[in-house]
Structure 1
Amino acid sequence: ISKVDANTPELYHAIDEGNLEDLKRLTDDGKNCTSINDPTNGYHWLNGESPIHTAVRRKQTQIVSFMLSCDADPNTRDWPQENTPLIYASQNLGVGMVNILMTANPEINAQSPSGYTALMGASQKNHLAVVKILMKAGAEINLKTTSNWTALMYAARYASVNMTSALLDYGADMNIQDENGRTALHLAAESNRTENFKTLINRGADVRMQSNNGETAGAIAMQTGYMDIIIIERGTDEHNKGIDMNIRVNELAKSAHSMFVIGICLDVTFAIAMIITCVYFRYKLQKYKIRVQNSPPRHAVIFSNENNEQNVHIYEN
């Protein structure tokens, strides 16, 4: 986050303080906006923000509106994230700032180097109203990050069921897999988003899809101990066109059975080892007892010589 101090150009002081009159004075009432868009401004590179990024971050709506009227570039990038003002506003602010930025026709589907978009930011932070604005403006629902995450994946893991349902209504693909082979259903299971999990299943998510580790969403729920995910039931409505829950129930049953069997096997293995050990020592003890019983009586006589050295002589009767 940039810091405005005594060495900061006057333009940034006006933006940071929301002083529209000073900004108008510095730009000759909007007739000389070079300083707003100058990419060589040393302060811009030092702090990673263009003037419009600073205004957006500071939630200075009037300042942003004036800067856009002064031809500020709505697609400029900050540093090092390289996010546009719209990506930042969609994730961290709300409808007011997004609507102002939309007046400048920004690139709706602009992506950061990691592939992050404004739609992903709004989906992750549960800004449903912003998602609606972006979708109306032409946002692509199934764009992917470099890790193959989509807006739906962010919603399934972090947001509410309303967000997840809305993205599905817009045509989000439920079965896209990320770089680890996980789907939105896997991510909902990992984060115990019960309603998201239920909604994805009822909308047709494939519960049989496996991650790169061979795990299904149900198996993940078992491992993480999210019982409220595990016991979800779809109901018996024969007209429900969702995935057959018998498959999921059988799958979870198999997982539970496998875990139970492993536990039993470990207990049995330990018990067998103890039995074998007891039998072995009993056998050795019995053998020693027999050998002792069959041995003739023995006596030991200790002799001492003149040097007080002791010798032991053992003889049998």
Structure 2
Amino acid sequence: MAQFRPAGLSDEDSDSDDYGFYEKPPKSYFHTQQNQRKTVENKLQDAIINGNLKEVEIIVLNDLNDNVNLKLDSGWTTLMHACFHAQDRIVEFLLNKGADANLHADSVTPIMATCSNSSANNDAIYSIITNLLDRNCILNIGDKYGQTPLMRAISSGRVAVVQKLLEKDVNIEMRDQQGWTALFWAVHHNQPEILEMLIAHGARLTEVDRSSRTPSDIALSHDYQNIIEIMNKHLKIDDTEETNKNVYLNQLRSWYDYYPGVKTGEKLDYEGEIPNLLYGMNCERLGPLIDSSTIDLRTFLLMEEDDMIKLGIDMPFERQRLKYGLRNFHLRGWKLNAVAGLYARKVDSYSVLDCLTTLGTHLQQIYVLEATLQYTLREYIKIQNQIKFEPPDSPLIIKMKNAAKKMLTNINSVRREIKNMRSVLTRISKSNPQPADLIRAKSTQEIAMGYITDALVVCSLVIFAYHARGYITNILKK
């Protein structure tokens, strides 16, 4: 039966007796509880701001039931408040009681809150950072705007903190939402000392943000002359090194360089290409780690998450970035120009070194295509149960068929180029001498035969000279 309120009463009347029907508690209950919690947080903040460690201990024990990781109404924990207000003694107390150094609110971690403080004492900030690092706080992580603890420390001008973070091998190439790296932040906030430190740790100088601006453009827009001088100095050095590098690469190299491992009789590995791929994936920080594992290019291109963990790539976002980069690499489209060689050059004559170089690059492309096929097969096996129940005309099936056709087209392009190369090599093999680096060292038997041949030639010459002398003598006597 429907319930109707008697005439003359409204929902706002405080003497209404319908709470039993709707089973609602008194309205004042929620307000009382919320006001109590606000009072606790306000009281806690006042104690932290004043640096009253004893008062904080009492509030944590009595009001928070000794739960140092309890989130207050603001979403912040007691540790986050203490970090933000740079109360190093209170931070140490909370960490010793088991406060989580990585518990965050709205994507802000305690170390981010600490680095955001630009007015506190440097020693206090440095002490807090050291304590948080000792508790394995996460450094390579951004807030909802992509700003990392390193970026916040730079904006606050904390030189010692930046140096400390760099010693912890922090990723200096992470980007925020506008595409800025740590170097952009140092330029924008006019931090020349920090800028020099970042450059010394290998920060890229010529990156662009989402608005296609370089760090130099940012410095010019602010008219930071000291920053501009530093950038110009290092950019000039980089240009010189790049020029020298290009001169070296343009020099004639041995054909062996295009067949890595052929001298030692081992399988081709192409491990020298891995740093280039890491740079393109924005994962070059992993270079030393992968280099120490001595994996070849094929193993690298087929890495899965378990393999990355075994290599020591501990941070989930780094593994995710690497997996995304590998996927994009295998999904790339190859045009005929990417595999075209001597045939596409349309010239009359080719040197043997030209042929060997082109064949070497094709061999590498076939190596990569084989890895891509293995990657595709593996991913297909992962989703075959899903495909099994798909109708023949489903978008997924059509998409996979189109991808397979493109891959076959790429493979056929390589085969066609190899066939053309074979005919070119046949045509020029008779008219070109053997290159110097293809002449093999003589064997012991060949050396001995050479000595015998030389001896026979000398003997023949001696006999010929003897008979010629006798002949000339007889002529003179006559």
- The alpha-carbon deviation at position 183 of structure 1 amounts to 1.0
After superposition, give the CA deviation of every residue in 1:175-203 in whole Å (9 maximum; x if it has no partner). Answer: 11111011111111111111111211211
- The alpha-carbon deviation at position 63 of structure 1 amounts to 0.7
Q: Are 1:115 and 2:146 matched, yes or no?
A: yes
Provide the residue aligned with 1:86 in structure 2. Answer: 111
After superposition, give the CA deviation of every residue in 1:95-123 in whole Å (9 maximum; x if it has no partner). Answer: 23322322222101121011100111122
Tell me the secondary structure at the aligned position of residue 235 of structure 2.
coil
- Per mean C-alpha deviation after superposition, the further-off stretch among 193-202 and 177-186 is 193-202
Q: Contact between 1:123 and 1:152, CA under 8 Å: does it hold in 2?
A: no
Structure 2 Cα separation of the partners of residues 205 and 88 of structure 1? 38
Structure 2 Cα separation of the partners of residues 58 and 115 of structure 1? 23
Structure 2 Cα separation of the partners of residues 197 and 134 of structure 1? 25
Provide the residue aligned with 1:62 in structure 2. Answer: 89
Give the paired residue count.
200
User: Equivalent of 2:180, from 145, 149, 160?
Assistant: 149
TM score, norm. by length of structure 1: 0.56
Provide the residue aligned with 1:234 in structure 2. Answer: none
Structure 2 Cα separation of the partners of residues 168 and 155 of structure 1? 11
Provide the residue aligned with 2:229 in structure 1. Answer: 198
Q: Runs (4+) of structure 1 moved beyond 6 Å?
A: none
Q: Contact between 2:111 and 2:149, CA under 8 Å: does it hold in 1?
A: yes
After superposition, give the CA deviation of every residue in 1:176-234 in whole Å (9 maximum; x if it has no partner). Answer: 11110111111111111111112112111799xxxxxxxxxxxxxxxxxxxxxxxxxxx
Taking structure 1 as reference, are residues 153 and 89 closer, same or farther at Cα in structure 2, changes over 3 Å only? same
Q: Contact between 2:85 and 2:114, CA under 8 Å: does it hold in 1?
A: no
Taking structure 1 as reference, are residues 114 and 206 closer, same or farther at Cα in structure 2, changes over 3 Å only? farther
Q: Which structure 2 residue ranges, 5 or more long, are not aligned?
A: 1-35, 244-478
Structure 2 Cα separation of the partners of residues 178 and 206 of structure 1? 23
Q: Contact between 2:108 and 2:143, CA under 8 Å: does it hold in 1?
A: yes
Provide the residue aligned with 1:309 in structure 2. Answer: none
Provide the residue aligned with 1:73 in structure 2. Answer: 100
More helix by share: 2
Q: Contact between 1:87 and 1:118, CA under 8 Å: does it hold in 2?
A: yes
RMSD after superposition: 3.1
Taking structure 1 as reference, are residues 35 and 205 closer, same or farther at Cα in structure 2, changes over 3 Å only? farther
User: Equivalent of 1:138, from 161, 164, 169?
Assistant: 169
Q: Contact between 1:119 and 1:131, CA under 8 Å: does it hold in 2?
A: yes
Q: Contact between 2:84 and 2:116, CA under 8 Å: does it hold in 1?
A: no
Provide the residue aligned with 1:7 in structure 2. Answer: 39
- The alpha-carbon deviation at position 34 of structure 1 amounts to 4.9
Q: Contact between 1:174 and 1:200, CA under 8 Å: does it hold in 2?
A: yes
More strand by share: 1
Provide the residue aligned with 2:160 in structure 1. Answer: 129
Q: Contact between 1:56 and 1:89, CA under 8 Å: does it hold in 2?
A: yes
Q: Which has the higher contact order (CA 8 A, sep 6+)?
A: 1
After superposition, give the CA deviation of every residue in 1:245-286 in whole Å (9 maximum; x if it has no partner). Answer: xxxxxxxxxxxxxxxxxxxxxxxxxxxxxxxxxxxxxxxxxx
Structure 2 Cα separation of the partners of residues 162 and 110 of structure 1? 24
Structure 2 Cα separation of the partners of residues 85 and 157 of structure 1? 24
Provide the residue aligned with 1:273 in structure 2. Answer: none
Q: Contact between 2:92 and 2:128, CA under 8 Å: does it hold in 1?
A: no
Aligned-pair identity (%): 22
TM score, norm. by length of structure 2: 0.38
Structure 2 Cα separation of the partners of residues 181 and 55 of structure 1? 39
Structure 1 Cα separation of the partners of residues 88 and 223 of structure 2? 37
Tell me the secondary structure at the aligned position of residue 132 of structure 1.
helix
Taking structure 1 as reference, are residues 205 and 130 closer, same or farther at Cα in structure 2, changes over 3 Å only? farther
Q: Are 1:38 and 2:64 matched, yes or no?
A: no
